[in-house]
Structure 1
Amino acid sequence: MMPPRIQRRVAHIDVLGGMVFPLSISYWSKGKSAKRWVERPSQTEPVLIGSGDAIAVNGDSEALISAPEGGIVHVSGDLKSGLELGGHHEVILGGDVAEGTTIKASGFHDIFVGGSVHGKIVASGTSKIWIDGDFTGALMTGTPSTNVHVLGNFAADISSTDEPALLWLAIGGFASNATLVSIASVGYTQFNATVGRSDVPPGLYPDGTGHRRTAHGNSYSRWCVMTQGEAEQSIATKQAW
């Protein structure tokens, strides 16, 4: 079972996000679900689940988990091997996404990471992603929209799986101005961001209109910097939920 502090955090996000993890919260609160739940202490061999299934790993995941038609995946520890997801799914990870690990997600996906993401997320469909630690890995965004909330610091590489579409990015910690300019240069139809701290003065960016014409059409970018400062220890390691 996922630790109580993670359950509370996910329930908090569920309200803010408009019911993004309803099946997981129902299972925790009522002890029952329409899904077929399987719990195991660890994940050391590849596993395939269907759209009506849910898997809860009460430790680290060290082997591939595949859910091509949807389902629910809970890992209370670190994700050290890949996830391959499709359909409509909820993913809740209590720890980190390790360096060299890739989450491949298509369809409609809601993902929570209680630690930091040092690996890669490839989200080709519609995604809402919450990361309570730092994001130092990579993200490939999908269509039509990608929403990313990072409580800690942000230094990830951003690109698009197809034609750049809509990207919203909320960063509680630090992100450099160069990182944000680099994301804007991808050419998203709309890129909006809010940043807790950056290496430029507080204000609205970029200077100028934030509009450019790309090979895919019009691209609009806008972001807000709240305070000027340097990167600090990840908020997730200091936050008590």
Structure 2
Amino acid sequence: MPIPEHLQRRVAYVDILTAHAFNRSVSFWRDPTDTERRWSKIETLPNPLLIGPNDALDVDCDSNGAISAPDGSVIHINGNLNADLEPAGHYEIVISGNVGENATIRASGFCHVYIGGPVFGRIESADSCKLWIDGDFNGTLLTGHPSNNLHVSGDFNAAVRPINKASLLFVSIDGFARHDLISNIASVGYTVFNASIGASDVDAGLYPEGSGRRKTESGASHFRWCVQSRRERAEQ
């Protein structure tokens, strides 16, 4: 079966909040005949797969074989991602399940990714990224240039660092994130780092205390974040 209807509605909602990051996916679900892409459906993926220009892929199973899409694409995985995924160009990826600890999304170009479950693996985005995770994030995020947007509906305990240049990073977390973890990300030296944290182990308020600006080897770094509520540390 394709991506479930309740998840299609969820991605359509996220599409609005992310300035139409998933427009081609939502358009296809609304009317499958209204598309210029060649859609292929597969029900088993044990081996590596290469996708050509203007192709789109509907994976109706766990993805256990590596997928390469060097020319941009739309990829729907109705299951878990257990192997590497290497997209480039301008593309959309919708994963209904989780990203396993041995899986890496290694992306370049305009990276638009929705993940319906928790992330235990690694996400590398060399360029621009819009990433929405409807679960906990316990993996690794390597950010690119020029901008990175991350939303996590669950708790956040991920390692975050730039691939090369620390550029723009905007983070929204609905769940819990440790204050020291967010402070460490701010200290990396992103040109701009802004974040909203649903709950943390400090009082609700605006952070950091004192200046949210400092000089780095590559120029000025501006950083601030808000904490909506306080609670004890979540078990990680």
TM-score by length of 1: 0.95
Contact 2:201 2:233 in 1 (8 A): no
Alignment partner of 1:168 is 2:191: no
* Pairing 1:81-160 to 2, within 5 Å after superposition: 81-160=83-162
Identity, % of aligned pairs?
A: 44
Aligned-partner SS, 1:228? coil
Counterparts of 2:53 and 2:23, CA distance in 1: 15
Of the structure 1 ranges 83-92 and 45-54, higher mean CA displacement relative to structure 2 is found in 45-54
* Pairing 1:169-208 to 2, within 5 Å after superposition: 169-208=171-210
> Which residue of the partner structure matches residue 57 of structure 2?
55
| Cα distance per residue 1:65-118 (max 9 Å; x no partner) | 000111011101000000001000000000000002100000001100000110
| Cα distance per residue 1:6-64 (max 9 Å; x no partner) | 10100001111121111111111102221100011121111111230001111100000
Alpha carbons of structure 1 residues 44 and 231: separation in structure 2 relative to 1, 3 Å? farther
Contact 1:173 1:231 in 2 (8 A): no
Of the structure 1 ranges 60-69 and 38-47, higher mean CA displacement relative to structure 2 is found in 38-47
| Cα distance per residue 1:148-194 (max 9 Å; x no partner) | 00000000000001110000000000000010011011100000000
Structure 1 counterpart of 2:76, from 48, 66, 74: 74
Counterparts of 1:187 and 1:29, CA distance in 2: 42
- How far off is 1:4 after superposition? 1.0
Aligned-partner SS, 2:44? coil
Aligned-partner SS, 2:229? strand
> Which residue of the partner structure matches residue 7 of structure 2?
6
Counterparts of 1:204 and 1:41, CA distance in 2: 48
Runs of 4+ in structure 1 deviating by more than 6 angstroms, as ranges, are none
> Which residue of the partner structure matches residue 17 of structure 2?
16
CA RMSD of aligned residues (A): 1.3
Structure 1 counterpart of 2:231, from 229, 232, 235: 229
- How far off is 1:231 after superposition? 5.3
Counterparts of 1:35 and 1:232, CA distance in 2: 44
Counterparts of 2:123 and 2:159, CA distance in 1: 10
Q: Structure 2: which amino acid aligns with 1:109?
A: C
Of the structure 1 ranges 134-143 and 12-21, higher mean CA displacement relative to structure 2 is found in 12-21
Counterparts of 1:231 and 1:2, CA distance in 2: 34
Counterparts of 1:161 and 1:233, CA distance in 2: 29
- How far off is 1:232 after superposition? 5.7
> Which residue of the partner structure matches residue 32 of structure 2?
31
TM-score by length of 2: 0.97
Unaligned runs of 5+ in 1: 235-241
Counterparts of 1:211 and 1:58, CA distance in 2: 47
Aligned-partner SS, 1:227? coil
Counterparts of 2:92 and 2:233, CA distance in 1: 31
> Which residue of the partner structure matches residue 238 of structure 1?
none
Counterparts of 2:141 and 2:104, CA distance in 1: 10
Aligned-partner SS, 2:118? coil
